[in-house]
Structure 1
Amino acid sequence: MNRVTWYIISLILFFSPLLSAEENRGDVRERLEPKGFIYGFGLGINQELYSGYDRRVVPLPILGYRGERLNVLGPFISYDVVQNSGFKFTLQAAPRFQGFDSSDSDIFIGMQERDFSFDAGLGLKYQRDDWNIAVSSMFDVLNKSDGYELKTTVGRAFKYGPIFIEPTLSVSYLNDKNVNYYYGVADFEARSFRPAYQASSAVNTTIGVSLATPIFFGGFTRLSVDYTFNDSSITDSPLVDRDNNLSLRLFYSHFF
């Protein structure tokens, strides 16, 4: 069974138990995502797969807006073109915080720099009760990798007093251009300690949980933790020395 077939089967398995649920407006999720103009800050810490490169820290000042259709959270932007019976068809854009240069680790010496990029694409979201399903197709619009990512996420929101908790499960398909750009080694980059490597497409699985609350400093705080199981196409790369990785994101926002 190839990766694309496996991905499609995963979509069917994710959708089937939820489409039969009794319809509800998802009151917990509405309270989880209040609307208005916001400012604040974000911090992302990602455990890197690359050998000798322990973690990536990305600070993000936030100035944005959360509305009925338009959502802006710093560089993360989405606009709901269609909203109907729990379905949302969305245009979206987001930075891709990946890449490296030769100063990040000895394993990269003699390699061309791999740049951050910016993705844009389409999304389909479905909400019923406090369940949420999101399917997205994102493309590299800066032509760094010329790659794309297909991703499905399922989550459910729970409320415990002033604390909102949302566990999620995601499956993502990265095409061969995306994977090879960030994890491949070209022939001219090969060394005795770093053989040439042509990466193929990958299917990664991520489990995560986010905690959100409005109780701190009159604003809204969200902490998200994800653990990703990476495909062998990535972990077989001579640039990589671990199979799985952990990422953490902290956002604090306040309404004007």
Structure 2
Amino acid sequence: MTIRAFFTRAVFGALCFTSLNVQLHAAEASSEPVSNAGPSAGWGLGLGLGVQKKAYSGADTRLKVLPNFYYDNRWVRVAGTGIDVKAGSLGAVSFALRTRLALGDGYKSSDADILDGMNKRKGSVWVGPSLLWRTALVDVAAEALMDASAYSKGTQASLSVAHSFRQGPWSLEPRLSMNWLSAKYVDYYYGVEAAEARLDRAAYDGRATLNLSTSLRLGYAIDKHQSLSLDAGVRRLGNSIVDSPLVDKRTQPIFGMGYMYRF
């Protein structure tokens, strides 16, 4: 086992164990969930626009426009395609059980020429513990998720560091992230089974890998209810994804815009 594999497995296990214990202690201490949020709920509606460029060779760049819903109270937080059930906090560290929809993952054989004859790969629902640690310098977020739909039977874990600079109605947030993907995840989405192989597409078994990304979010508060956001960045794909015969690029663009009205 490599040092990287040992580290990622250790982080994954420690995060799961820590979150489970916090949930148990919170349940023992009170019948009501503990949260840093106030008792009143906040919610909002918005619209998001994003550019999707998958790593598969010859895949088209797609523009996606999706409605966005936001809701936050003492027990639960819903934002976009994610749902967090709050599990209490320890000082500046808050914990949650996260459910995240990733229905845009995967592909159909018609999505690109290199995928012709491949079996369809489906998007999934991911579930697992998450944490957010707010410090005076940076916000540290982590999650460890498992494929609840059992399509890939994979796991993934991510760690990100961000800091928000604010000046009047403007905000600027640089973010650095790393996302570890298990061998089963990579094999399902980027592997090639023996029955799918052809002259220009050799059989390929995926291995665990680490993606790195950096992004910058620009926000503007129009008034106390309305806000705009712009995200731009780049993702560097791990070696075992780039080595796949289905993939012809090392990097992916990150770009999105959003509007939110908070009631």
Matched, 1:112 2:114: no
Structure 2 spans left out of the alignment, 5+ residues: 13-35
Q: Deviations over 1:40-85 (max 9, x none)?
A: 1122222221101032433321233133552212322113211231
Q: 1:5: Cα distance to partner?
A: 3.7
The 3-state SS of whatever aligns with 1:227 is strand
Is 1:142 the counterpart of 2:149? The answer is: yes
Structure 1 residue 171: deviation in Å? 1.2
Say if 1:92 and 1:121, in contact at 8 Å, map to a contact too. Answer: yes
Offset from partner CA, 1:105-159 (integer Å, 9 cap, x none) = 1111111001111111110210012520011001111111111111100111111
Counterpart code for 2:212: T
2:238 paired residue among 212, 231, 253 = 231
2:77 corresponds to: 71
Note if contact 1:38-1:66 (Cα within 8 Å) is conserved in structure 2.
Answer: no
Q: What are the equivalent positions in structure 2 for 1:1-256 lying under 5 Å apart?
A: 1-5=2-6, 7=8, 36-96=42-102, 97-129=104-136, 131-215=138-222, 218-256=225-263
> How far apart are the structure 1 equivalents of 2:125 and 2:99?
7
RMSD after superposition: 2.3
Q: 1:65 to 1:205 in 2, by over 3 A?
A: same
Moved more, 55-64 or 244-253: 55-64
1:185 and 1:191, CA in 2 relative to 1: closer, same or farther beyond 3 A?
A: same
Q: Which runs of 4+ in 1 moved over 6 A?
A: 8-11
- Partner SS state of residue 135, structure 1: strand
TM-score normalised by structure 2 residue count: 0.82
Partner of 2:28: none
1:10 shift after superposition:
9.6
**1:177 match: secondary structure:** helix
Unaligned runs of 5+ in 1: 12-29
Q: Secondary structure at the match of 1:103?
A: helix
Percent sequence identity over aligned pairs: 30
